[in-house]
Structure 1
Amino acid sequence: MRIALKTAVILMLCMLPGVACGEPPTGTDILAQVDRNLQPDDFEMYRKIINIEPDGSRKEYVLWFLKKDLDKVVTLFVSPASDAGRATLRLGENMWLYIPNVGKPIRITSMQSVVGGVFNNADIMRLDYSVEYDVTDLREDQGQYLLELKAKTGAVAYDRLKMWVLKDDRVPTRIDCFAATGMLIKTLHFKEIKDIGDGVRRPSVMETESPLHKGYRSIMISANLKKRQLADEVFTLNYLHRIKDLR
């Protein structure tokens, strides 16, 4: 009888505003929510990438971005005109670049960059973080969750990540990316949280800086996100030259 009464009291308290009940989320839970809030499994959207050099000069690219499941990504260059029609394909850790009128697609790596600047190919064609990383530690810092992530394999672009996550929105505000040696490779800043499509609030701007590229900055702006179901055939080497027909 006493146990039943105690349970009833707990249930009533949990219904009160401001009272937190239940088990606290694990790092794995939080990372899964971060992934879903940043990008659904199957969608399309546009991304503008701006590379800024120390002298203030800028170069801009617009890419159409397609993702399916957890490991399939295609991007199509929309502008500038000199790059329009180029496309990239990522299947897991394997990546290719298609250039019109240049034979078959070229193999590329995660640490290279098809647009130059501070963003590498892994940043541009990013998979879900939970696909590539395990959570090794969870604590609080500056009123946010701080996740420590370790790469599952040596094929991942960064060996270790430190990710600060907003408690309410469950989206990152900052990610520090480290090499296996412990050296900081770059820092990603997530800004301007808003609905860019699909009815979910997520960062619309990502900026990056790197101690390895002093004075250089790169900015990625996301817009017009829509869920879209696409056939597996779209995410193949033989389809890259036809991607533009899907826009």
Structure 2
Amino acid sequence: MSLKFSPSNYRARCFGLALALLALASGGTVRADDNELARSIVAKADEVRFPHDGFQVVVDINSSSPGEQIDERKYRVLSKGNENTIVQTLEPASDRGQAMLMRGHDLWVFMPNVSQPIRLSLAQRLTGQVANGDLARANFSGDYEPKILRTETIDGEKMHVLELTAADRGVTYAKVLYWVRQSNNWPHKAEFYSLSDRLLKVCRYEKFQNLGGRTRPTQLTMEDALKKGDISVLRYSQMTAKDLPDRVFTKQYMDKLNRID
């Protein structure tokens, strides 16, 4: 069977091809711009939550479950550049002296009566609804690839809703849905998901006050999505800038931590 050449069909095909190429080019540009905007939003929200330079902060965590006594714990966190963190246990007294050291995605716990550190994962539970990585590594901009899903209005505030997909399997959560205020890049809420896309818990960023030289959320409420009523409340205080040399974040230095004010 032969096909006859038709000028009108030829022009129509060329026009359709041109539209398709234009749409592809425009779509690619929009996606690139959207990706850059998403990364900027997450990075600015990270700066709201914690300083990038060296700092120290005290975190009180109260965890509750229906019918059980509230579990109260206190930690001191020393952090530098989102890649190096030490989490010291201050209370209860029976656990005082325990400390976690994070370098990159590597995490160890040091215990007073154990000669060798024990390797941990960021996703392991620290206490209540709080994973190790929730205290040791809160670096959304470095650990996840973000994209903007939509815009929502909550209590009169316009929010970016972003999906954060883990850059590798060494991070705390496989996926995060993240609500960030459009007006000031304050984080509002995060939903944390497993590798199988199961909702694990919901975190709300609350009580924005001056902390460490700027307005930050001083309280986080984490609620288990699978066990109703299981909640951990994290309260941040005494945040100060601190010069933390690299030698602090080494296994050899961990036994000297009690002398760091």
Please give the TM-score of this superposition, normalised by the length of structure 2. 0.81
Matched, 1:179 2:194: yes
Partner AA of 1:32 in structure 2: A
**Of 129, 151, 157, which aligns to 1:118?**
129
Partner of 1:28: 39
Distance across 2 between alignment mates of 1:213 and 1:109: 22
Contact 1:160/1:179 (8 A) holds in 2:
yes
SS at match of 1:181: coil
Partner of 1:232: 246
Matched, 1:46 2:63: no
Distance across 2 between alignment mates of 1:157 and 1:85: 24
**Of 123, 129, 137, which aligns to 2:140?**
129
Deviations 1:30-66 (A, max 9, x none): 1111111111121111100111121151111111111
Deviations 1:5-44 (A, max 9, x none): xxxxxxxxxxxxxxxxxx9981111111111111112111
Deviation at 1:187, TM superposition (A): 0.7
Contact 1:45/1:223 (8 A) holds in 2:
yes
Partner of 1:72: 84
Partner AA of 1:44 in structure 2: Q
Q: Which runs of 4+ in 1 moved over 2 A?
A: 136-139, 211-215
Distance across 2 between alignment mates of 1:168 and 1:246: 38
The aligned runs of 1:1-40 (5 Å cut-off) are 26-40=37-51
SS at match of 1:82: helix
Contact 1:118/1:213 (8 A) holds in 2:
no
SS at match of 2:252: helix
Distance across 2 between alignment mates of 1:170 and 1:121: 25
Distance across 2 between alignment mates of 1:193 and 1:184: 26
**Of 71, 77, 99, which aligns to 1:87?**
99
**Of 140, 151, 154, which aligns to 1:140?**
151
**Of 117, 121, 126, which aligns to 1:105?**
117
Partner of 2:225: 211
Deviation at 1:219, TM superposition (A): 0.9
Partner AA of 2:232 in structure 1: S
Deviation at 1:169, TM superposition (A): 3.0
Please give the TM-score of this superposition, normalised by the length of structure 1. 0.85
Contact 1:34/1:172 (8 A) holds in 2:
yes
Bigger Rg over Cα: 2
Distance across 2 between alignment mates of 1:63 and 1:147: 30
Distance across 1 between alignment mates of 2:208 and 2:39: 22
Q: Which runs of 5+ in 2 are unaligned?
A: 1-32
Partner AA of 1:186 in structure 2: K
Between Structure 1 and Structure 2, the one with more helix by share is 2
Deviations 1:70-109 (A, max 9, x none): 2101011111111111111111211111111211211111
SS at match of 1:170: coil
SS at match of 2:248: helix
Distance across 2 between alignment mates of 1:229 and 1:139: 40
Q: Which runs of 5+ in 1 are unaligned?
A: 1-22
Deviations 1:98-146 (A, max 9, x none): 11121121111112223x2111111121232111001122531122111
Distance across 2 between alignment mates of 1:206 and 1:160: 19
